[in-house]
Copies of this chain bind each other. A is one copy, B any other.
Amino acid sequence: MSLVKRNDISFIGCCASYEDAKTVLFGAPFDSTASFRPGARFAGPAMRTESVGIETYSPYQDRGLEALSVFDAGDLELPFGNAARALDAVESFCARVLDDGKTPAMIGGEHLVTLGAVRAAASRHPGLSVFHFDAHADFRGDYMGESLSHATVMRRVWDLLGDWKIFQFGIRSGTRDEFNLAGEHIKTERFKASTVRDCALEAAGNPIYVTVDLDVIDPSEFPGTGTPEAGGLSFTELLSAILCLSESEIIGYDICELSPHYDHSGVSTALACKTLREMLIAFSGRVL
């Protein structure tokens, strides 16, 4: 009988040390700007605990997590109620991971945390594109007077990257202004994600950051989120889209907006774990 401590709760199969790791998984437990239903801050611990319910092996890709080298760094300590400082902390952490030659993989948190990661990536990877899966355009100039908000995050990314560097998929909610402005500056596929492969070809040769707001998935498959929006992708459609990117040069990625307190049956957390497993496997191709 061993007395090794069994309290280390990492995401299943993520057992590398930081030094050996090619991918660094971490959580960004921030949800203070959520306008409707908060709770995404609890996603990291929930996913780690529930990840024992899935296998490490993917029958879709015929590969397992053990073959990768992933270090799970746990959740960052972020100051609630101070978006600017929280983004700085995310950026700073990602910067170190990138500077050490590793790939950051972030568990949000509300979608705003993506901005911190993209800042770190953009300053190190000129020509960066962002592939964005979401139900909402997130392209407002401000939200109730605040420029840093889950509803403005892609607008801030666009401030940073400029025109035609953002590729959106699954978008089915936004104001008329958001849709109009997006049409002039970024690529937005409404309702579906059938153009991912074409967009990946268009972006070929450039580094890509992938951000998945899980509410891109239909609420029937993913109820555990703050702003459910009917008419979304199925898990299978999202998975296909992710696999389309497995040949691209993914230099960082995240999965956001699981809100476990609204996931009474546990299906959303289980789906998030499975999606993260597939992303970890698919996006490790470049670095292995």
Contacts and interface: CB of A to CB of B under 8 A. Distances in A.
Contacts of A31: 38
Interface in A1-58: 1, 3, 5-10, 18, 31-39, 41, 45, 48-49, 52-55, 57
Interface of A: 1, 3, 5-10, 18, 31-39, 41, 45, 48-49, 52-55, 57, 59, 62, 64, 72-75, 77, 79-83, 89, 92-93, 96, 144-146, 148-149, 171-176, 179, 190-191, 218-221, 223-224, 227-231, 235-236, 239, 261-267, 270-271, 274-275
Given A10-B7, A18-B3, A220-B220, A173 B54 contact: yes
Most central of A32, A77, A274 by chain B CB within 10 Å:
A32
21 contacts: A1-B92, A5-B10, A6-B75, A6-B77, A7-B10, A8-B9, A59-B171, A59-B172, A59-B173, A59-B174, A59-B191, A77-B144, A80-B144, A81-B146, A219-B271, A223-B265, A228-B265, A228-B270, A229-B274, A231-B239, A263-B265
A82 B79 CA distance: 11
A140 to B, nearest CB: 11
User: How many identical chains are in the complex?
Assistant: 6
A146 B220 CA distance: 36
A21 to B, nearest CB: 10
The A interface is mostly helix, strand or loop, or mixed, namely: loop
A57 B176 contact: yes
A145 B85 CA distance: 11
